[in-house]
Amino acid sequence: MPLNTFALSLALTPAVLQTLISHYLHRKSLHHKPNVHISYDESIRILREFLIYASKHTLEDLQTFSCQRVPAPHWVKVETVTVPEDCLRGAADAINQQLGPKGIARVGGKEWWQWRGPAEDLKAEWIEMKDDYNERKRPGHDHPGQKRIMLYIHGGAYFFGSLDTHRYQMQRHARKLKGRVFAPKYRLAPQFPFPCGMQDSLAAYLFLLKEYSPKEIIFAGDSAGGGLVLSLLVILRDQGLPLPAGAILISPWVDLTHSFPSIVKDNPGDYIPPYGFFHKPSAAWPPPNADELASLKKALKNHPANPSDAVPDKSIRDDETAERGYSMHKSSSSEADHATSRRQSTEIHHGKLIVPIDGETLEIKDQIQMYTTNDLVTHPLVSPIFQPSLGGLPPLLIQSGGGEMLRDEQLYVAHKAANPTAYPPGDPFLDEHDPNRETLNKYPGTYVQLQVWDDLCHVAPTLSFTHPAKYMYRAIAQFGAWALACAQDTEVEIVDDHGVSSDTDSSDDPAAKRDTDNSQHSTPLDSIGKAGDPLPAFKDRMIRQRVDKKGNIYPLDPPSACPVLQIPPSQVGVFNPALVRKWLAAKTEWDTRYAKEKLRVQRQRMKELAYGLQNFPGELPPPSSLAARRTVPRVLPSKTGRKSYPMTMWSRMASKHDERTVVKEQLKGDRSARTSVDAGQAGASMKAEAAQQTGENAAATQRAAAVTGAAVQDFSSPGAQPNGVGTSGPKRMSEDGDDGNSSTNAHTQAPSLESFTPLLVLPGYEGKNLEEENASTRALFHEAGAMADPSWAARLRHRPSSNAGSGTIRSALTTEPPDDTASTIGGDEKSLGVTTNGVDAASTRAVLNARGVLGGALSDNESAYRSFEALPSEGQVTPGVGNESTPRPEMPEREYFKTADEYVH
């Protein structure tokens, strides 16, 4: 039957009915599983049966089906743009630089993958809420969406899926972040294999950099898109291009060799076929095998003028090998000894994968991955798990489903990014890509938040209408806002739709409502069920969390207790024999069923390649690429404007929650719930580590100076500098005013007092509760030039959500619930100082945000009411040196001060 709406409905209906009956018969055994929700249980079964049904059709059929039009909801604004040619050229140059001469040779050249053919221009979509779009277009209105851009790379195993199939996910990211999502329509394999999609994705980022700062952009990607995002970050890092504020990797696919144990375990909660993806033979797939290609290349050298003579004749034995796609023979003792000595059981020679299994040597000659050839499955840009180092990248959020097949490689890559030297690739990979181990030891670890979601499937946000997925979207919005807040050094206000998600904590199953979800850890540490909840501090550059289906966070087992993290580097990249057996069993079934079609297709492809391989002089495009047979008509999936009714129905069901939220926000207007996110404890821990590293560097400079006898002035104590601001003086000058061209090191030259603006020194507050923060003055500690007394910060504790509903993440200063009654002008005379009373007095924010305000310069026995003079500005004389008095700094006008009610409204 064809792959259309009617046939698909007939194929899936029995599975839907069977799942419905089975769910209610066995619901008691599902209490601790996400399948307790009927929506989740049915969705997993539908996806699994869809992939099985699609495998009986050609790859072009699946691509055509997944590229059909899906209308966007009326409350979503979608705008299609074209990425200009100069961005594509810039992306190609960066990729060629990253590949180097050896990499370009392995890819087959540096021109063929830039040929777009019938794909024409690179299109991309802007996706945002229509209300946000209208606000942003209002004259004179500065909408926050201008500084919140998510570059999203969709998944689909690199060979299917589209912006239409993923738009319902991207629109939710845009809504929750109150920003805009930019998604490129990158070219898909196998017609456009690696690095075609990478060029398009990088070009999309370069296009954004023309108008936006990298601090205003975050990356996101799911599955294959997550692996692509990670490779893009490495290219940006190595080529010195601006890095984004952060990246979100949702179930990233980072190891195309499938060498980790979870891939062969029993994974009933996942929908990915355990044997991989197979499709009915067609013009697009599979390409000729390695033996056929070798004979064709050899013949083309002998008959370059007449390509038709280069097609070799086939024997019966060749047909049998081509039909199976592999050969097997007994392993010799020398082969066994060689494999044992290298501890590398898999080798790749001229497109053949050589895998020892049970005393025999298996030679896989067919191409196993649609994204690239067998020679490139271990290339670091194809499988980021083989990168020499994933350090030096912006903060990462890696979400992994605890029930998915790829969970082990995701757990491994998260720890590899945070601690690159502890998880290096094997020596053969390092010898090829980093022979001097320079890259391995060059970059510090990346800050990573790892979330492993109990029993969830691969890319669970795909099921956005299910309860666990809603928590995942909230965690993504939380991390995205935090990354933007850290990069922009400001607060980011995002949607807090916890109040309108009345169905989030309920269950579709009455029995599940009575379930208390008892886990092996009796008490949850925290819950991410609310967007804007604070990130905890990083420990060893990681936030490691295990999350259940209700959003409760538990501690993840330590690395020493995770077997996957104990795998030696030499075994990463080794094809799992158990997986190879599963693959061979499925392949034998498929090749037997479609033997005639496969031989016919491969024979035709040989004729096409005989002509097409000569279209790029000096280059050798992959056999599956259109560039290798560019003169052949009808090789792309047909373009269709037809509406996909199954995907439209799925998208509408997935968008119901968003639609309800949008309607309630419109009814509330400006009173709709918002929550602010800033750097918080996680940002404070990052700054503390950076400061510690800076201190260590300064200490090393002092030691070097002592050895060489050079005069180096010490600014480690407040008394060492005339202005008494300690080491923060040089640091702030470097950040705000140093152009980087000074010949004198900032650590060895005292800053001039004339370089400072007037500093208002505010005393500590002699309140009745010194262990609480005065939230009305908290912004002081985030303002340029402001400093807090360390003795205060040590006594403060975390501030939860305020009574006004703001779940703000605070950086280093946190308090109890506030009493929003104090007013600087209206009677709280003490709030002018840096107080520690739990008051969110918005009327004093103008003081806190004023330039040059400095707090915490008093000792504990000095009065809170004492008047302080400002430090001198440019042109003034230092106090105590020929000048008895200094004029007080000018205060802002009254209009800068607002009462708490004025600030809120």
- The phi, psi pair for 552, rounded to 5°, reads -80, 135
Give the residues across from 150 on adjacent strands: 181, 218
Centroid of chain to Cα 831: 42
Residue among 388, 389, 409, 387 nearest 398 (CA): 409
CA distance 409 to 856: 48
Other beta carbons less than 10 A from residue 499's beta carbon: 13
Pairing of strands 149-153, 180-184: parallel
CA distance 478 to 498: 13
Give the residues across from 122 on adjacent strands: 83
Residues 6+ apart with CB under 8 A from 893: none
- The phi, psi pair for 576, rounded to 5°, reads -70, 120
162, 223, 383, 776: the active-site residue:
223
CA distance 532 to 477: 8
Amino acid at 827: G
- The phi, psi pair for 354, rounded to 5°, reads -105, 115
SS3 178: coil
Query: What letter would DSSP give residue 114?
Result: G
Place of tokens 């929908």: 271
Cis peptide before 195 (omega within 30 of 0): yes
CA–CA distance from 632 to each of 609, 627, 640 (Å)? 10, 10, 20
Whether 223 is a known active-site residue: answer yes
Residues 6+ apart with CB under 8 A from 49: 11, 12, 15
Cβ 204 vs Cβ 198: under 8 Å: no
Centroid of chain to Cα 161: 19
Residues 6+ apart with CB under 8 A from 887: 869, 870
SS3 485: helix
SS3 80: strand
Centroid of chain to Cα 132: 24
Judged on CB neighbours under 10 Å (0-12, 13-18, 19+), 794 is exposed
- In SS3 terms, 809-878 reads as CCCCCCCCCCCCCCCCCCCCHHHHCECCCCCCCHHHHHHHCCCCEEECCCCCCCCCCCCCCCCCCCCCCC
CA–CA distance from 37 to each of 17, 464, 556 (Å)? 15, 13, 25
DSSP string of 494-552, one letter each residue: EE--TTT-TTSS--SSHHHHT-----SSSS-SEE--STTPPPPPPBTTEEEEEE-TTSE
Cis peptide before 286 (omega within 30 of 0): yes
Q: Cα dihedral sign for 150, 156, 158, 163?
A: negative
Judged on CB neighbours under 10 Å (0-12, 13-18, 19+), 74 is exposed
Assign residue 261 a region: left if phi > 0, alpha if psi is -120 to 50, beta otherwise? Answer: alpha
Maximum Cα–Cα distance for the chain, whole Å? 105
Residues 6+ apart with CB under 8 A from 352: 290, 363, 364, 365, 374
Give the residues across from 768 on adjacent strands: none
Catalytic residues: 223
